């Protein structure tokens, strides 16, 4: 009887850690996959493949493919080439279909200057494709309207006579 208990306990200690390792491997695979998906999105944008990039976005409201492509075509920025495209990339796995990518993205301007933007991006995996919110791309491209604060008219104080 003692032998059976010892064998069962030994099997439990051997099997349970293996299951934990699978979760670590899955998370590492998702991190790698998420980073590759993010870089693929930036590459599609850099190469001007906006129609294909549209399929890698989660839609915001009723924006059409034509709207998205036109906004990117008139935008003043696109990802830089090579190593400047995405730097200091870190990926947090939220679940098996969602990761948060934090990166410094190099953006080439119309005047051939390079600007850098460091921020987080929420990527969702749908049907095996990593997708980024459309507004994140448009915002990085400089294609969104800046919110302007409404200035309040100052009331004149005192008596004018």
Each residue of 113-139: pLDDT tens digit? Answer: 999 999 999 999 999 999 999 999 999
- Per domain, the residue ranges of the chain are 2-141
pLDDT digits (tens, 9 = 90+) for 70-127: 999 999 899 999 999 999 999 999 999 999 999 999 999 988 899 999 999 999 999 9
Concatenated DSSP letters for 15-56? HHHHHHHHHHHHHHHHHHHHHHHHHHHHHHHHTT-HHHHHTT
Three-class DSSP category at 120: strand
CATH of 2-141, one of 1.10.3720.10, 3.40.50.300, 3.10.450.100, 3.90.1330.10: 3.10.450.100
Instruction: Tell me the C-alpha distance between 140 and 107, whole Å.
Output: 8
Q: How confident is the model at residue 5 (pLDDT cuts 50, 70, 90)?
A: low
Instruction: Tell me the C-alpha distance between 85 and 46, whole Å.
Output: 9
Instruction: Tell me the C-alpha distance between 80 and 150, whole Å.
Output: 35
Q: What's the confidence (pLDDT) of residue 45? A: 96
Q: What's the confidence (pLDDT) of residue 128? A: 93
Sign of CA dihedral 122, 104, 107, 33: negative
Q: How confident is the model at residue 152 (pLDDT cuts 50, 70, 90)?
A: very low
Q: State mean pLDDT over 15-37.
A: 74
């Amino acid at each position: 009887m003692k032998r059976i208990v010892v064998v069962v306990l030994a099997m439990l200690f051997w099997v349970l850690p293996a299951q934990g390792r699978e979760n670590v491997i899955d998370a590492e695979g998702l991190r790698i996959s998420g980073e590759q998906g993010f870089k693929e999105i930036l590459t599609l944008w850099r190469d001007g493949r906006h129609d294909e990039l549209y399929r890698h976005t989660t839609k915001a409201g009723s924006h059409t493919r034509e709207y998205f492509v036109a906004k990117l075509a008139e935008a003043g920025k696109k990802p830089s080439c090579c190593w400047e495209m995405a730097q200091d990339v870190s990926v947090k796995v939220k679940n098996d279909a969602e990761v948060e990518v934090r990166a410094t993205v190099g953006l080439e301007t119309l005047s051939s200057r390079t600007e850098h933007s460091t921020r987080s991006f929420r990527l969702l995996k749908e049907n095996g494709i990593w997708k980024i919110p459309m507004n994140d791309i448009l915002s990085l491209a400089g294609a969104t309207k800046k919110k302007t604060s409404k200035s309040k008219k100052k009331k004149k104080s005192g008596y004018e006579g």
